[in-house]
Amino acid sequence: MKRRNLILLVSLLSLLLIASCFPVRAIKLNIQTGALEIILGETKNIALTIDPVDSTVSFTTADDSIATVSPLGVVTGVAVGSTTVAVEATKDGYKKAQGAVNITVVPVPECDVTFEVSDLEGPVNGANVAFNSETKLTDENGLAVFSGVLRGNRQYTVSKIGYEDATGNVNVDSDKTVDVTLSRKLYTLSIEVTGNGTVTKNPDKPEYTHGEEVLLTAIPEAGWSFTNWTGDFTGSDNPK
């Protein structure tokens, strides 16, 4: 009887020794993203490393009405608020590893976009700036400010009588200042003489800008006299 007890005791000790030689291995899980701040509607990835690398990783959100998470750890902000995402790594023969990531979903930021409109002579006052479903006039400094603009790519048009329209796009991702340089429209002045004589232009140029003044003088030849102007302007003043 004593011999049997001794053999049984030795067997138990052997099992304990064998078990102690093969301890339970643990998965190493390193979550590099301890917390995420996500803009409403946008996504961010949970960054982590695991060892062994072939461990299975799962993600579970505590409140999917605030944020959802994909099987690959991509978090999407659904509503403004806070929640957590639980992370678990498993592998046969290993002790599982667990962790969590704090998630904060914030509102979409609103930005200020300032247009600075000028020409070759300086700031342009009274230019129409159409942007973000609004139209504003530039002030004496050539400025038009749009507040509460949501992020995204948006088109603008700047116009004023006597200038060529300027159009473009603004990628709104923060407060922005947009410099716009307007080009004055150019006009040609055509003159036709009925009878014999000439007309001089002062200044005499091939093109004129909007609003530029030009003095016209009719010079009839001998035996002819000036009568009047017709066309885009009329009258009998000479010069005009």
Whether the pLDDT of residue 16 is over 80: the answer is: no
Digit-coded pLDDT (tens) for 152-198: 899 999 999 999 999 999 999 999 999 999 999 988 888 888 888 89
State the Cα–Cα distance between residues 85 and 69, nearest whole angstrom. 8
Q: What pTM does this model have?
A: 0.57
pLDDT of amino acid 10: 44
Whether the pLDDT of residue 18 is over 80: the answer is: no
State the Cα–Cα distance between residues 25 and 3, nearest whole angstrom. 37
- Average pLDDT in the 50-65 region? 96
Whether the pLDDT of residue 230 is over 60: the answer is: yes
Whether the pLDDT of residue 68 is over 70: the answer is: yes
The CATH class that applies to domain 110-181 reads: mainly beta
- CATH topology classification for 24-106: Immunoglobulin-like (2.60.40)
State the Cα–Cα distance between residues 145 and 114, nearest whole angstrom. 4
- Average pLDDT in the 99-128 region? 95
Whether the pLDDT of residue 73 is over 80: the answer is: yes
pLDDT bracket for residue 26 (50, 70, 90)? very high
